[in-house]
Copies of this chain bind each other. A is one copy, B any other.
Amino acid sequence: MSKPSSGNPTARLEAFSDGVFSIAITVLVFNILVPRNLPPDKPLITALLELWPSYLGYLLGFFLIGIMWMNHHNLFKLVGRSTHMLMVFNGLLLLTIALVPFTSALLAEYLPTAQAQTATLVFNGWGFFVALFYNLLWQYMSHKRRVIHPDVDQKIVDAISSTYRFGPVFYLIAMGATLFGTFWGIAVNIGLAIFFALPLNAKLFEGD
């Protein structure tokens, strides 16, 4: 009924999502503020080192959004058609992604204060929500193979389903670790980033 589309049926959905992901990840840099009004005897390098909470907030935000983009990229490789509800569930996920620069800024601002634990809880808690909306999206995609391309092996779909169940659990663990102290909340977070970056996770998606 529409014009004969050649190629990828979710091209624009992916382009729009890539836009949101890349903007959210790039604007994280705005949370690192150039030190101003330094006292004359304070070396710039000291002032830059004191910005470590901002660098950490940048790194954790970058890891979170980056991991989510990789997952998004991998999931959409399996999609064979675009539907209204796919756009809606994808939109809800982007809504959570676009808020990460805020939780990351919050973390950077409050890490060196007495309220560091609250800020870390919020950051990790938001990561939990992001993972939850991922599962919602995948649930919609995979249920009865609603939008899955016919050529995709059902084994792949099942493998992702069983792996994705752990996503929110990981971030719940990060939240739980935060209750033992800010340090642990951040350590688990970094651990998650390293874990996701490892080649182990490649097998599931690359499929070669």
- A interface with B by C-beta (< 8 Å): 1-8, 12-30, 32, 34, 36, 38, 40, 43-45, 48, 58-59, 62, 66, 69-70, 73, 76-85, 87-88, 91, 94-95, 98-99, 101-102, 105-106, 109-110, 114-115, 118-119, 122, 149, 151-153, 156, 197, 199, 201-202, 205-208
Contacts and interface: CB of A to CB of B under 8 A. Distances in A.
A21 B16 contact: yes
A18 B26 contact: no
Complex copy number for this chain: 4
Contacts of A84: 70, 199, 201-202, 205-206
Contact of A23 (B22, B76, B80, B105): B22
B3 A152 contact: yes
A127 to B, nearest CB: 16
A99 B15 CA distance: 21
Contact of A13 (B17, B59, B73, B156): B73
A160 to B, nearest CB: 11
Interface of A is mostly: helix
List 10 tightest A-B contacts by C-beta distance, closest first. A19-B22, A84-B202, A1-B207, A3-B149, A23-B26, A44-B115, A44-B118, A2-B77, A15-B18, A88-B197
A179 B91 CA distance: 30
Nearest to A13: B73
A29 to B, nearest CB: 5
